[in-house]
Chain A
Amino acid sequence: GEKVEQHESTLSVREGDSAVINCTYTDTASSYFPWYKQEAGKSLHFVIDIRSNVDRKQSQRLIVLLDKKAKRFSLHITATQPEDSAIYFCAASMSQGGSAKLIFGEGTKLTVSS
C-alpha cells in the first residue's frame, strides 16, 4: 500500500532562519498532500495543503513544493519563530473506489531556538 516517509525525525534551526521538511510517497495516484502541526501537549491542526494540479503553494511564511516526478513534497517555513516549534506531519491521500484516506508520515520535530 501507500507509504509516506518523512526524512527528518528532528530539525533544529535558529530563529529567523528557514526550515525545510521533506516527505516522499510511493503511490503515483496520490493527489492531495496536507501538512499538520502538533504543538506540545496538543492535538493536530491543519496548516497547509497542496493538490497535484500545482507544484507550489504559499500561505504567509509557509511554502509547499510538490515534485510529482520524484514523488516528493516539502514544507518550507521562512523567517522561523519560536512558536513554529512543534511536530509537523505530512500526509498523502489516494482514492480507492470513491473513498479516500490519508496516510501520514512519522512526524518531524522542529525546534526553533532564539
Chain B
Amino acid sequence: GGIITQTPKFLIGQEGQKLTLKCQQNFNHDTMYWYRQDSGKGLRLIYYSITENDLQKGDLSEGYDASREKKSSFSLTVTSAQKNEMAVFLCASSIGTGNTGQLYFGEGSKLTVL
C-alpha cells in the first residue's frame, strides 16, 4: 500500500504571513487535491492537479497558491494568513479525477494563526 505524508502536522503563523504546506504521495497517483476542513462545514476544495505542473482551481482558491512540482508532490501556500484563522488542510490523491475511484487522504495539517 501507499501513504500520503503531509508536513508540517501543526503550523502556527502570524497574521499576514505566507505559509506553505507540503504533501507527498507514493501511490503513483495522477491527481492530487488540497481540501480545507472547517468544523461544521465539511470539506471544501482549494486546488487540485491532474498531472505534474497542472493546476485547477477549486471553490476556495482565493487566498491560496499551489504548485505540483512533480507527480509525487503537491504544495499549498496560504498567501496571507488571516488573524484567528483555524482550519485543517487535507491533502488527497486519486488514480483519476474523482469520478473513477476513491480518494486517499493524508492526516492533515492544522493551521492556527495568532
Q: Which residues of A contact B (CB under 8 A)?
A: 1, 6, 9, 31-32, 34, 36, 42-46, 49, 89, 93, 95, 99-107
Contact = CB atoms under 8 A, between A and B. Distances in A.
30 contacts: A9-B40, A31-B99, A32-B98, A34-B102, A42-B107, A43-B90, A43-B105, A43-B107, A43-B108, A44-B43, A44-B90, A44-B92, A44-B105, A45-B105, A93-B98, A95-B99, A99-B56, A99-B97, A100-B96, A100-B97, A100-B99, A100-B100, A101-B33, A101-B45, A101-B48, A101-B56, A101-B98, A103-B45, A104-B43, A107-B42
Given A43-B90, A89-B42, A102 B103 contact: yes
A92 to B, nearest CB: 10
Interface of B is mostly: loop
A9 B50 CA distance: 32
Closest 9 A/B residue pairs (Cβ): A46-B102, A100-B99, A106-B42, A104-B43, A43-B105, A100-B98, A104-B42, A100-B97, A44-B105
Given A9-B40, A46-B103, 15 more contacts: A42-B107, A43-B106, A46-B102, A46-B104, A49-B102, A99-B56, A99-B97, A100-B97, A101-B45, A101-B48, A101-B56, A104-B35, A104-B43, A107-B40, A107-B42
Contacts of B56: 99, 101
A73 to B, nearest CB: 15
Interface residues of B, number: 27
B36 to A, nearest CB: 11
Interface of B: 33, 35, 40-45, 48, 50, 56, 58-59, 90, 92, 96-100, 102-108
Contacts of A107: 40, 42
Contact of A1 (B40, B42, B59, B99): B59
A100 B90 CA distance: 18
Q: Quick one: which of B48, B99, B105 has the most chain A CB within 10 A?
A: B99
Contact of B99 (A9, A89, A93): A93
